[in-house]
Copies of this chain bind each other. A is one copy, B any other.
């Protein structure tokens, strides 16, 4: 994984262990990709009418995961409160999207895989939350 190498050569010490960050970022981006692909696969289904809510939540979840992954990839002078709040938004979007994907999983394999990706992302976000100090606009 290039990201772990990149983070290891960063001039500043990260607030969280590099392996935890790089693993989390990988899973969050993987979730973003799964959601982009799931929205598109749903759009290509004959029964697209039944998948409208899934497409909407896929789009939001993809957008939210993407920005969450970017924030976590940056180690220079971040704001801990913003990162925590963004992790919480990611958890909320992952949950809502996984719940919707699960409904369609028996019919559509792409929804089943996407639901799994959302749960993985939610788990790593929850684990990271504890590692960023809460309270005040502290430096991440």
| A residues at B contact (CB < 8 Å) | 2-3, 5-7, 9-12, 25, 29-30, 33-34, 36-38, 40-41, 43-46, 48-49, 52-53, 55-57, 59-61, 63-64, 66-67, 69-71, 73-79, 81-86, 88-89, 91-93, 95-97, 99, 108-110, 113-114, 117, 137
Contacts and interface: CB of A to CB of B under 8 A. Distances in A.
B89 A36 contact: no
B77 A70 contact: no
Contacts of A79: 57, 60, 92-93, 96-97
Contact of A108 (B9, B40, B74): B9
A7 B83 CA distance: 28
Interface of A (DSSP majority class): helix
28 contacts: A2-B30, A5-B113, A6-B38, A9-B108, A9-B110, A10-B41, A10-B110, A11-B46, A29-B33, A33-B69, A33-B73, A36-B73, A40-B76, A43-B56, A44-B52, A44-B76, A49-B49, A56-B76, A57-B77, A59-B70, A60-B70, A60-B83, A79-B97, A82-B89, A82-B93, A85-B93, A86-B93, A88-B89
